[in-house]
Amino acid sequence: EAGVTQSPTHLIKTRGQQATLRCSPISGHTSVYWYQQALGLGLQFLLWYDEGEERNRGNFPPRFSGRQFPNYSSELNVNALELEDSALYLCASSFVAQKPNYGYTFGSGTRLTVV
């Protein structure tokens, strides 16, 4: 069974540009979560999508947005990139009816560098 896949692995953008990050959840998982991990810091919650709808949002400006497609894959968009947006962006997936003791499955992340 394929795990959570994220693309691209690395992304280099110029300040002011837009970045698009993609995530494919494990087959059967309906929830997708996005986290930002700046260098040396913990994971900051960005967005949670389930069944195509945004369920919760972290404390990030509106230029961080996303969506979930009918096949449950998800896209994170970051507009008007700033240098401090440079970070590892991690996606995780889960299934709504699974037992709560099942930890989320994370992808390997997209390393975004803003220059």
> Which residues of this protein are in contact with another protein, per CB under 8 A?
31, 33, 35, 41-45, 48, 50, 55-56, 58, 88, 90, 92, 94, 96-109, 111
Q: What residues are paired with 1 via a beta bridge?
A: none
Percent composition of the chain: helix, strand, coil (DSSP 3-state, to 5):
5, 50, 50
* Residue (13 or 106) nearer to another protein, CB: 106
Q: What angle do CA 97, 100, 102 make, to 5 degrees?
A: 95
Nearest distance in Å: CB 80, another protein: 24
Nearest distance in Å: CB 109, another protein: 5
Nearest distance in Å: CB 31, another protein: 6
* Residue (48 or 72) nearer to another protein, CB: 48
The residues, any chain, with a CB within 8 Å of residue 108's CB and separated by 6 or more, are 6, 9
